[in-house]
Amino acid sequence: MAMTMLAGIVGLIHPLSEAAAKNLNVMASTEDLAALAREVGGQHAQVDSIARGYQDPHYVEAKPSFLLKLQKADLLIVVGLELEIGWLPPLITQSRNARIQPGANGYLDASSVAEILEKPSGPVTRAMGDVHPLGNPHYWLDPENGRRIAKAIADKLAEMDPEDAAYFSQRYQDFDRRLQEADTRWLQDMAPLKGIEVITYHNSWPSFTEHFGLRVGGFVEPKPGIPPTPAHTLEVINQIKKDQIKLILVEPYFDLKTPNAIAQQTGAKVLVMMPSVGGAPEIKDYLQLFDYNIRLLKAAFSGQK
Ligand SMILES: [Zn+2]
């Protein structure tokens, strides 16, 4: 007993195995990227995020506390494609943290490794306030992109902390295996919904719908970032009637007034889907994000039949 205690005390004074271990300070712009960083970083990365999962990631109110978080970060992971353009760039500049400035070693733009849909073919414009000028920035909603992002983070962590490279690689492989198992299950669950057409409020879901075989017939917003107009709402109503669309997917941070009005006119059902980890208290990690939304879709669809 006394020996065990003594060994414990000695262990505290000389934590031999942990003596050389680093603990990288990782900051992510969103909870989704933070969740992926936690999967691969394990106990060798202290991970935090700025935007909360129930917030619209295009519009996040900058707080002084964000600046403090950025000042101590070794690595900053961003979604990119101008998703955070309205709030993150000034914070990065003001942090005066050279490690995480764009182009620095501690700046990781996850869009550089993901498959991006709706990339503009012509010159880039922000016509009518379109907030997706460089392609669709909601790409983390395809599990395949989640895998790619996790791999990129594991590689970056290994580069910054080479002594723990094998640890990060093993964590990534474990995540990859669990993700593949879960994806097989999700695809089975979604099989009965294959090919069905949905309306979504914002254009948040193309990566998700492509992976799981749904079709997006239109949007409640006339353009990404532009609030509904009466004329456009009428078009959506007509289209739902014509195509017999049954579901309207709405992100949690939008007003339900217009979707509910459309539902009332058409008989379609409004479903509040979570685009991010942390959107609901039970969505604590990346796999739970898909578990949640697929459960919701399955229930709504079986309720329709
Ligand atoms: Zn968007």
Q: Backbone phi, then psi, for 269, in 5-degree steps?
A: -105, 135
Q: How far is the CA of 205 from the centre of ligand 1 (A)?
A: 9
Distance 235 CA to ligand 1 centre (A): 21
Residue 125's pLDDT is what? Answer: 66
Distance 170 CA to ligand 1 centre (A): 33
Cross-strand pairs, 25? 46
Give 40 Cα–ligand 1 centroid separation in angstroms: 26
> Could you give the dihedral angle defined by the CA atoms of residues 150, 107, 62 and 29, in that order, rounded to the nearest 10 degrees?
0
pLDDT number for residue 266: 98
Are 168 and 41 in contact by the 8 Å Cβ rule? The answer is: yes
Distance 204 CA to ligand 1 centre (A): 5
Beta bridge partners of 49: 28
How much distance in Å is there from the Cα of 2 to the middle of ligand 1? 61
Q: What's the pLDDT score for residue 21?
A: 59
Ligand 1 centroid to Cα of residue 258, in Å, is 18
Using the mean position of ligand 1's atoms as its centre, give its distance from the Cα of residue 30 in Å: 13
**pLDDT recorded at residue 303:** 72
Angle between helices 165-190 and 31-41 (to 10 degrees): 130
**Ion ligand 1 residues within 5 Å by Cβ:** 224
Task: Say what the pLDDT of residue 130 is.
Answer: 78
Compute the distance from residue 56 Cα to the ligand 1 centre, in Å.
8
- pLDDT at res. 60: 96
SS3 content of the chain, % helix, strand, coil (to 5): 50, 10, 35
Å from CA of 266 to ligand 1 middle: 26
Exposure of 127 by Cβ count < 10 A (0-12 exposed, 13-18 middle, 19+ buried)?
Answer: exposed
Please indicate, yes or no, whether the overall pTM of this predicted structure exceeds 0.75: yes
Helix ranges (DSSP H) in 139-285 = 143-160, 165-190, 206-212, 230-243, 257-266
Q: How far is the CA of 86 from the centre of ligand 1 (A)?
A: 12
Q: 226 has which bridge partners?
A: 223
Residue 281, both tokens: 């208290």
Q: What pLDDT score does 304 carry? A: 61
Average pLDDT across each block of 10 residues of the chain; the chain has 305 residues. List them in order.
46 46 91 98 97 97 92 98 96 97 98 96 69 95 98 98 98 98 98 97 98 97 95 98 97 98 98 98 98 97 71
Distance 134 CA to ligand 1 centre (A): 11
For residue 2, the model assigns a pLDDT of 45
